[in-house]
Chain A
Amino acid sequence: MKILESQSATLTNYEVYTHLMEQRARYAKKGMKGRRPGNLETVVKELLEYFQEAPSPLGSKPFPYNENTIRTLFERLRAYDFTKAEFLMILNLRPTKPENLNTVVEEMEGRFPGEEQQLEICAIITEVLGKPDGEAERQAMSENAIEARKEIERQGENMELDE
């Protein structure tokens, strides 16, 4: 093994998601003839679960991305001079409120003073990527947490029984 280039490009979550879905479809079409390596199966399954879990935009409905989204959003936000990293996080996390935008934009207060400008940016993001369904997301997050806690409890009980 020889690393030719350790980082030749950066990918957004959407691009990785699309790649995995295409790969899955391709394998499904070929049937079970050539089975996929187990380690690949595991990581792909876990990654898709991660992408689809609230509050990830990839799990929200309607699906907020299409092949033009990146270009459109980039052009709409060009005036604000975001760095590449910031833009990537905006695409991945879809901040639609100033409080959320604050986490991905460095020194937001200094660069975009005043709530008006911040709301303007959020409005553009909402326009291109859609608005998260806050209520549904909160509910999904709470349910996921409760579910996971129960799962751990069950495991704990089973272990006690085993002993």
Chain B
Amino acid sequence: MFILTKIADLVQIHPEDFNKEASQAIEDNINAKYANKVIQKIGLCICLYDLLSASEGLIGHGTGLVNVNVEFRLIVFRPFKNEVMLGRISSATEDGIRVRTQFFDQIFIPFSGLPEGSEFLHPDQLFVWHVPPSDPSEPPQDLFYDNQETVRFRIEEEIWTDQSPLGPKEKEDALGLSTADAGKSSPYVIRGSMADAGLGPCLWWDGDDDGDGGEE
């Protein structure tokens, strides 16, 4: 789920931070800039992992800022394709199920990523999986994708949306397209699937754990 990314950047330490230790001031500066932010094609930055090198501090003319060139590594949330993760169902629409984790909520399981025999129940606004019975004479068993249920899902695809502001010219070009949509979309969206055995609400699969567990 997590990777380290090596970055070089210029850190500017403000005079009010001069009472801090230099390493602490640099760390705070980096964390303030990167923590909980998405870098395109890199992932969601969590925090500084380690500082690899820092130049001498140079004081800028007129500003009093100390400029330091640093190289460091960041912890970044970037699950790889086919990785299995835990999350919770936050809501469902006809198109699929939205899943979130405490720190990242842009996860979407499209209808095509649900197991065969799934159906959306309009009155309840949730999905149900009609499990085909092993004995054809019995009626299918219904399993519900209840909201807030803890689920396992597999990462299928990531969608990046660059949110850097457009110049006036580009804006005009884009105006023909749906600008409202562009404004709403998140910089980093994960699409997943729950169509495999063992995926979906954990309670389904971990349910008879104790029954088996006794033997081991």
Taking Cβ atoms with an 8 Å cutoff, the residues of A that contact B are 1-13, 15-16, 19-20, 23, 30, 34, 36-37, 39-40, 42-44, 46-47, 49-50, 53-56, 85, 88-89, 92-93, 97, 99-100, 102-104, 106, 123, 126, 131-132, 134-135, 137-138, 141-142, 144-146, 148-149, 152
Contact = CB atoms under 8 A, between A and B. Distances in A.
Q: What 4 pairs across the A-B complex have the smallest Cβ distances?
A: A134-B209, A103-B198, A37-B32, A46-B103
Interface in B148-166: 148-150, 152, 154
Nearest to A56: B86
Interface in B100-149: 101-103, 146-149
Nearest to A10: B3
Contacts of A141: 149-150, 202-203
Contacts of B202: 55, 137, 141
B35 A8 contact: no
B6 A145 contact: no
Contact of A55 (B28, B150, B199): B150
Given A37-B31, A40-B47, A144 B5 contact: no
Interface in B72-86: 73, 75, 78, 80, 82-84, 86
A104 B28 contact: no
Contacts of A138: 203, 206-207, 209
B47 A99 contact: no
A49 B146 CA distance: 21
- Size band of the interface chain B makes with A: 35 or more
Contacts of B73: 8-9
Contacts, number: 171
Contact of A6 (B9, B28, B41): B41
Given A36-B31, A47-B102, A103-B154, A19 B83 contact: no
26 contacts: A4-B6, A4-B71, A7-B3, A8-B5, A10-B2, A10-B4, A11-B3, A15-B2, A16-B1, A23-B47, A36-B31, A43-B46, A47-B46, A50-B102, A50-B103, A55-B150, A103-B152, A106-B82, A123-B216, A126-B216, A132-B209, A138-B206, A138-B209, A141-B149, A145-B88, A145-B148
Nearest to A142: B203
- Main secondary structure on chain A at its contact with chain B? helix
Contact of A144 (B32, B42, B148): B148
A148 B205 contact: no
A112 to B, nearest CB: 15
Nearest to A34: B20
Given A3-B42, A30-B24, A43-B103, 16 more contacts: A7-B3, A11-B4, A13-B1, A16-B1, A34-B24, A37-B28, A40-B32, A40-B47, A46-B103, A55-B86, A103-B154, A123-B216, A134-B213, A141-B150, A141-B202, A144-B148
